[in-house]
Structure 1
């Protein structure tokens, strides 16, 4: 028993507790989390068909835009605990905590206990880790899986164990089935570390590497090839794909397009040019309006993180702003960003990811997410590799190289990528945390031993890191007060001076001052890591920061519940709350929720005349009321159901979400996330009606554009409009993204 107690690191316990608080506190207040994914979980609970494919809707007609592994895990938790926001978030909370522990156990054997503790603390307090882990987005589980694979790689190389190497590469394949090519970003580190560290004859080493790569490929492509080999008529449409193919989705939309930012496409066909697209929308809108529906034009786009500049830019063309108004400031986004992403390239400017270039990770738009400790990492790597000699390459050098080779290519990608969200930067967290611990201890040792010029690295790291922390925070002085940034700056300079003065002394407080210096460097990241709790978060596009930087355009929230400071933009002549924000046609990823504290804005108060898409997740989303079950609508549809399989079908998944999640009702989404996927033809829709599977159609919200305009026109042509007073609580209860939603009854 005493030996067991000695093996427990009592310093690790509060670090794990801190991670649990940052990742999990208040998740019980998030009603829908990222409702795009929560809706899928609700559908997956219905049957194995929906479960296997990760179907978005009850009919199993269209998938979400990612592979199913994380959703399988979330569905298992929802099966045990019931379908709630917290139950689908809980796996990611545990994954975030698990990542802290894995970093600790990976760093400790080679770099020592102090380095392991520092690395674990750094991992727990990387702000973007805390922001993402408290949502049901994929990335927290992805990072945990990649770290687990890395742990097996480290173990396998040290023990000369081929099966551990195979498991390591298999786990990367499993991660591919979570978020596709994003999992492969660490493969350079895997291959190079294996070649450097695995001790075996070259023939055996190469054979094992080939075998591991084969395992990686088989596990990666197993689900995709299986699904693509099934006839299209027997499986759902692959959401957000161009050719109804998982492989095309993986290597195109979720692959190369992320780097180039070019996603100018419509569902099932090339993206029409802006003029043609606008004309098509106007014609469809006119037809629908003539039948009593107020326009439903909207961006075609796909879930969340998943709309490129061309797609989104064209999606905004033709959108009906209140009273015919234009975008505020002539199309200029908050914080001086151009709507077109201008300087950022691709979606860079639009999604608050700064300008492409070598220093992108140090720009205001991104630096607060994961970059706080990069000065320490840089100087720490100098200390780690200062004594490197060709004949004296130690395991410390090899493992440090692994983390550095993870960090550099990923950092390079985000420096030039055309389209990503801020929370993707969680991929940088593990190498930053590990190199912080290993590098700080290396600098500490050189400082303690007064090792020439290397002894100055520690005081310099404290100085540069705290100056960088001040640079990040001072932009937000109007929101958080100048005390935070100034305090870190003063404390940093003070600790730097103390460390310089004590450099040649043997004072008993010397070690305490070193620890104090590190804690001063954490003032900024710890504060930022708490912002999703203190200021409110966004489960659709999560990010850390006190002023709503987790919104689509960096400075804006996404509608729905907002925390303090998450103030969206209010257009000229628009009535309603200023808390409403510009919508995103995105999910991830699907990406829009506001699970923070605050009061839901009134329905119909945003710039689009509806409640906004702020909502595709969280309380009060989708037009505020669309994100909740309207009891009048529910009762009407139930009372008038005459044996149909599905309660209703809708052109906008946001309208289906609360009925699937809260009421376990069977609902069809006709076009995936935004209504643009060509899931149904008019002939297939006619067959659904004639076979008695569905008769009510809710048209409006985001649908009616691109591949779905024919569907909307068919519904209007063959349906009978139900007066709003009969099926909604109030005249604005059916408000969708583009205006009032309309309920049609279709009988053939």
Structure 2
């Protein structure tokens, strides 16, 4: 690496030159030789290995190395997590058995109720299970591939206008973000959502380059699919995607507006087809919409999963809202992303990203409207700032792992900004910004590493010393021998990435299970099994034995049938009892709460009804409906001990009514220490 490695010869520094940046770059990017000096291209394998003629020779091999390392890091301990979040794994199992359950995202193959999210992420996993069978690898490996793909997309998007070095910095920073390593090895919807948002940013930059309505419509497709993954969260990136196009696309304002409206229309169509089917089909012909109180996906979207997350007014939720003084989902406020529970997940490079974002916008502030680098800052910077502010002040349900949505934007801004200020290092503003970004990364890493005892003193002290030295030396690089420059830059990179790298390795070395998981070393957030924080304290306990798939649960041991946050694996005797005469019943069992039902379903491979959905607070089924199911001989057993929070925050009390009715009218049987009620054996005539 020499002093020119980060320099893009074609980068304009004058307004006249910058006017050409509205179109795809035609000049060699950082460190590249002229095309005439390159050896003739060979076959397809050579093209894959070498990349474009305008790329430096090291760029494509380095990218492949980063992608391969990410794949290995995320895969090596993957199946230790078993079924991970059994709530979604049970729905995946159902979708692999029933195409109707696949389409709606049902919790069981008999289609009693759906999960409380749209089904796009389940579709990917269910197809994998149909191909590879029901096992931990089949469920979790698609998430790993999404992680590798997201790293590649961020690299490609950043490299296009800032050079290969910027792309590699961004890709490595993303791969080593602890919460990214967590969620790209876990089966929550956030992995697919993050990939789709990154693809949206990539397509937005392509659209801006070409003033292309086609690419704007592709942006709409990615956003629409993001909605079918996790509803309204994907819309947080839309305002600045649209603003960047309206400002920077090299065409008339009228066409920019029309193209943006076309993107909105495509977005609505990409998501709306599924929503329309669900809303228009008779309720009797589909499963109940989990998470809603009125069996409506629109209510779920704008209530429990939408505005309720912002206000804290979530009907049927298990916890109340937060507030400036703290609440059941953690203290809200401007510095929430830096708190003791959230900081280690994602915030390592946020201070540096914000410094470099401000510097980049300042340095490019007077260039023409169509400047593509400034447009990139708007796309990625808007993504980061808007999403971070929403997460910081939302008063409803908030989990630490949500912050994976910030990771691509942080990584991109660090890569882009680092190269930008390096290229402009003759400017005092750029040099000071680079030094400040390095110092901020080292200082904040020192603080975050001080919150855990997992790595001792040596790591945090080394990071701080190395980073502060690099920050000071950067200020005087012009007086250094050229051979010393790479050493200073390498020290800066190590200081910025050593802390998150340590957290990431610790994350992938552990099993994670249940509904609430966090990244980092054991004990950094409280609670075993990867379940640390994010749950109202008075509602964290549950019973459980082992996580389906073999990993330990996040609950206390006790031989129960699972709980609100995690499922337990039923014993061989329980599986045998529930499987007996299974073909005579629609559901071999029913249980309050989705996690309790999920454990039984994954253990038996047979449909189990989740009464009340995830929280046990949905009116599905009502007592009258459940009584009719029992009268018709559709349910064999009722599992005692399921956890639910019916009638809380305005939720339905159906689950508690059903449990009371069953206990009063049916025979209790004990199977290997677990209590069930045989719904074919009434104590007396049921009412």
Gaps of 5+ in 2: 1-41, 52-58, 647-652
Judge which range, 463-472 or 627-636, deviates more: 627-636
Give the C-alpha shift of residue 98 in structure 1: 0.5
Give the C-alpha shift of residue 743 in structure 1: 5.0
1:181 paired to 2:236: no
Partners of 2:581 and 2:399 in 1: CA distance: 43
1:422 paired to 2:403: no
Distance 1:743 1:194, change over 3 A: same
Q: Which residue of structure 2 aligns with residue 222 of structure 1?
A: 273
1:364-513 to 2 correspondences below 5 Å: 364-393=340-369, 394-419=371-396, 420-447=398-425, 450-477=426-453, 479-513=454-488
Give the C-alpha shift of residue 3 in structure 1: 4.7
Give the C-alpha shift of residue 385 in structure 1: 2.4
Partners of 1:712 and 1:534 in 2: CA distance: 40
Q: Which residue of structure 2 aligns with residue 707 of structure 1?
A: 654
Q: Which residue of structure 2 aligns with residue 637 of structure 1?
A: 578
Q: Which residue of structure 2 aligns with residue 523 of structure 1?
A: 498
Partners of 2:553 and 2:350 in 1: CA distance: 37
Q: Which residue of structure 1 aligns with residue 625 of structure 2?
A: 684
Give the C-alpha shift of residue 169 in structure 1: 1.0
Distance 1:194 1:646, change over 3 A: same
Q: For the Cα contact (< 8 Å) 1:671–1:678, is it kept in 2?
A: yes
1:651 paired to 2:592: yes
Give the C-alpha shift of residue 715 in structure 1: 1.8
Partners of 1:75 and 1:641 in 2: CA distance: 23
Give the C-alpha shift of residue 360 in structure 1: 2.3
Q: Deviations over 1:41-82 (max 9, x none)?
A: 111222222111111123201110000111111110010011
Partners of 2:372 and 2:48 in 1: CA distance: 28
Partners of 2:466 and 2:548 in 1: CA distance: 35
Give the C-alpha shift of residue 243 in structure 1: 1.6
Q: Deviations over 1:236-274 (max 9, x none)?
A: 1111112211011111111111111222x34xxxxxxxx
1:6-85 to 2 correspondences below 5 Å: 6-7=50-51, 9-85=60-136
Q: For the Cα contact (< 8 Å) 1:536–1:596, is it kept in 2?
A: no
Partners of 2:474 and 2:553 in 1: CA distance: 48
Q: Which residue of structure 1 aligns with residue 557 of structure 2?
A: 603
Partners of 1:165 and 1:397 in 2: CA distance: 18
Q: Which residue of structure 1 aligns with residue 31 of structure 2?
A: none
Q: For the Cα contact (< 8 Å) 2:359–2:429, is it kept in 1?
A: no
Distance 1:441 1:692, change over 3 A: same
Distance 1:494 1:614, change over 3 A: farther
Partners of 1:567 and 1:423 in 2: CA distance: 10
Partners of 1:702 and 1:614 in 2: CA distance: 5
Q: Deviations over 1:143-194 (max 9, x none)?
A: 1011112222222221233222111112101110100000101011111011
Partners of 1:465 and 1:102 in 2: CA distance: 24
Q: For the Cα contact (< 8 Å) 2:94–2:108, is it kept in 1?
A: yes
Q: What is the total number of aligned residue pairs between the two structures? A: 621
Q: For the Cα contact (< 8 Å) 1:538–1:596, is it kept in 2?
A: no
TM-score using structure 1 length: 0.77
Partners of 1:155 and 1:308 in 2: CA distance: 43
Q: For the Cα contact (< 8 Å) 2:589–2:639, is it kept in 1?
A: yes
Partners of 2:126 and 2:68 in 1: CA distance: 26
CA RMSD of aligned residues (A): 3.0
Partners of 2:654 and 2:555 in 1: CA distance: 32
Partners of 1:599 and 1:678 in 2: CA distance: 28
Selected match of 2:313 from 262, 276, 281: 262
Partners of 2:237 and 2:476 in 1: CA distance: 41
Judge which range, 144-153 or 97-106, deviates more: 144-153
Q: Which residue of structure 1 aligns with residue 54 of structure 2?
A: none
What secondary structure does 2:557 align onto? coil
Give the C-alpha shift of residue 742 in structure 1: 5.0
Distance 1:26 1:596, change over 3 A: farther
1:199 paired to 2:250: yes
What secondary structure does 1:465 align onto? helix
Give the C-alpha shift of residue 111 in structure 1: 0.6
Give the C-alpha shift of residue 594 in structure 1: 10
What secondary structure does 2:431 align onto? helix
Give the C-alpha shift of residue 595 in structure 1: 8.9
Q: For the Cα contact (< 8 Å) 2:324–2:333, is it kept in 1?
A: no
Partners of 1:562 and 1:377 in 2: CA distance: 28
Q: For the Cα contact (< 8 Å) 1:345–1:418, is it kept in 2?
A: no
What secondary structure does 2:97 align onto? coil
Judge which range, 140-149 or 450-459, deviates more: 450-459
Q: Which residue of structure 1 aligns with residue 25 of structure 2?
A: none
Q: Deviations over 1:563-614 (max 9, x none)?
A: 9xx7999x9xxxxxxxx993389xxxxxx97999779987318xxxx57638
Distance 1:105 1:713, change over 3 A: same
Q: For the Cα contact (< 8 Å) 1:185–1:406, is it kept in 2?
A: yes
Distance 1:168 1:611, change over 3 A: same
Q: For the Cα contact (< 8 Å) 1:261–1:347, is it kept in 2?
A: no
Partners of 2:368 and 2:574 in 1: CA distance: 73
Q: Which residue of structure 2 aligns with residue 94 of structure 1?
A: 145
What secondary structure does 2:584 align onto? coil
Q: Deviations over 1:497-520 (max 9, x none)?
A: 433454423432213321321222
Q: Deviations over 1:318-341 (max 9, x none)?
A: xxxxxxxxxxxxxxxxxxxxxxx6
Partners of 2:209 and 2:265 in 1: CA distance: 22
Give the C-alpha shift of residue 12 in structure 1: 1.4
Partners of 2:610 and 2:620 in 1: CA distance: 9
Give the C-alpha shift of residue 713 in structure 1: 2.5
Partners of 1:155 and 1:485 in 2: CA distance: 41
What secondary structure does 1:372 align onto? helix
Partners of 1:27 and 1:203 in 2: CA distance: 50
Gaps of 5+ in 1: 267-300, 302-306, 311-340, 350-354, 572-579, 586-591, 617-621, 735-739
What secondary structure does 1:701 align onto? coil
Q: For the Cα contact (< 8 Å) 1:697–1:746, is it kept in 2?
A: no
Q: For the Cα contact (< 8 Å) 1:469–1:488, is it kept in 2?
A: yes
